[in-house]
């Protein structure tokens, strides 16, 4: 199956793949009936991604940087959430995937402190499954947020610089409709953190399960279908739609540097060097620019990835 064919059918297939992969998460074996099961052929790299646009774009960036070094690369994109894809790297079904260090640590140990990149990366290394490794992080950060609709921000007189605490205080126990991914509802960097650290009560919340910082959440916020939602900080919709991202003054969303999670045995030193070279060039501003090209200008993520790699001398 060609890469473009996979992308065309990836979203409808994602739920099926996720369910199959999750069924094997309790086992250390990589055998089974999942179409993603099994390790990559010797000398090849399988690049995977989670089920949102930026993860697919970053997978293309990492994959094409490896291809530029003569490494054989294939793609399995738009698979599902971290709860699925982490175990696929662990089993060897995919070689690497883009990650966000704070969110990965929260998945591995929800109680771990997240005050600096070095602290987060050290804690991840201590908790990773055998055979897995994180590489040098980029300076690009993309955090979850609590973002208000334009109407909700106006209702409470909130503007740029307002904190989540400011909003919770002004809300004063009133009900609120929040939208985001299914995972946001159960994660510390989500409703759990909003309840435990900020004092938002579960009884106040009506939650709409939408998508991971994607078009469903964006549309719900701009149309007023939800009053608040989880968008990513590099989402161009935030500024274009008049939405208000609240400052996370209690740091529940943590440190979120972009970096690769890899299966050590499947990646050569040449491959590691190629990925580190990417992260040395990748900044938050660059990531926002690339996201805008894909999500707003509707350019193909593979084309965007190749153009950027060429512009910084990482591809010919």
Pairing of the two strands 244-245 and 147-148: antiparallel
How many whole angstroms separate alpha carbon 261 and alpha carbon 46? 12
Quick one: pLDDT at residue 8? 25
Do 87 and 254 contact (CB within 8 A), yes or no? Answer: no
Query: Which tokens go with 129?
Result: 């499954």
Q: Do domains 3-141+256-311 and 147-245 have the same CATH topology?
A: yes
Residue located via tokens 């909130």: 158
CB 259 within 8 A of CB 101: yes
Domain ranges of the chain: 3-141+256-311, 147-245
Q: Measure the CA angle with vertex 92, ends 89 and 93; round to 5°.
A: 85
CB 101 within 8 A of CB 127: no
Cβ-proximal residues to 218 (8 Å cutoff; 6+ apart), any chain: 231, 235, 237, 241
Residue numbers in the chain where pLDDT is lower than 50 = 1-42
Q: Which two tokens stand for residue 261?
A: 């999670």
Instruction: Indicate the SS3 state at residue 137.
Output: coil
pLDDT digit string (tens) for 207-254? Answer: 999 998 889 999 999 999 999 999 999 888 787 778 999 999 998 998
Which fold would CATH assign to domain 147-245?
D-Maltodextrin-Binding Protein; domain 2 (3.40.190)
What pLDDT shows up at residue 43? Answer: 61
Q: Distance of alpha carbon 75 from its chain centroid, rounded? A: 17
Domain 3-141+256-311 fold: D-Maltodextrin-Binding Protein; domain 2 (3.40.190)
Element at 270 (helix H, strand E): helix 269-281
């Amino acid at each position: 199956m060609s890469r473009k064919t996979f992308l065309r059918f990836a979203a409808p297939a994602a739920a099926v793949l996720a369910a199959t992969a999750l069924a094997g998460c309790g086992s250390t074996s990589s055998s089974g009936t999942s179409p993603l099961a099994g390790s990559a052929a010797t000398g090849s790299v399988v690049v995977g991604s989670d089920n949102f646009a930026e993860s697919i774009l970053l997978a293309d960036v990492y994959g094409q940087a490896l291809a530029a070094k003569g490494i054989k690369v294939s793609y399995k994109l738009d698979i599902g959430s971290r709860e699925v894809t982490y175990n696929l790297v662990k089993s060897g079904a995919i070689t690497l995937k883009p990650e966000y260090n704070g969110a990965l640590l929260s998945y591995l140990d929800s109680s771990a402190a997240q005050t600096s990149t070095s602290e987060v990366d050290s804690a991840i290394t201590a908790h990773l499954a055998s055979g897995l490794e994180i590489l040098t992080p980029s300076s690009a950060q993309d955090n979850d947020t609590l973002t208000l609709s334009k109407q909700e921000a106006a209702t409470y007189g909130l503007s740029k610089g307002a904190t989540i605490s400011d909003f919770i205080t002004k809300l004063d126990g009133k009900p609120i409709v929040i939208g985001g991914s299914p995972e946001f509802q159960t994660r510390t960097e989500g409703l759990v953190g909003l309840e435990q650290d900020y004092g938002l009560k579960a009884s106040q919340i009506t939650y709409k399960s939408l998508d991971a910082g994607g078009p469903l959440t964006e549309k719900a916020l701009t149309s007023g279908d939800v009053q608040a939602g989880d968008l990513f900080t590099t989402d161009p919709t935030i500024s274009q739609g008049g939405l208000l991202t609240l400052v996370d003054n209690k740091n529940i969303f943590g440190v979120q540097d972009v970096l690769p999670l890899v299966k050590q045995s499947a990646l050569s030193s040449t491959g590691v060097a190629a990925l580190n070279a990417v992260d040395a060039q990748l900044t938050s501003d660059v990531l926002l620019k690339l996201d805008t090209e894909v999500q707003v200008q509707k350019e193909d993520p593979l084309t965007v990835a190749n153009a950027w790699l060429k512009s910084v001398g990482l591809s010919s």
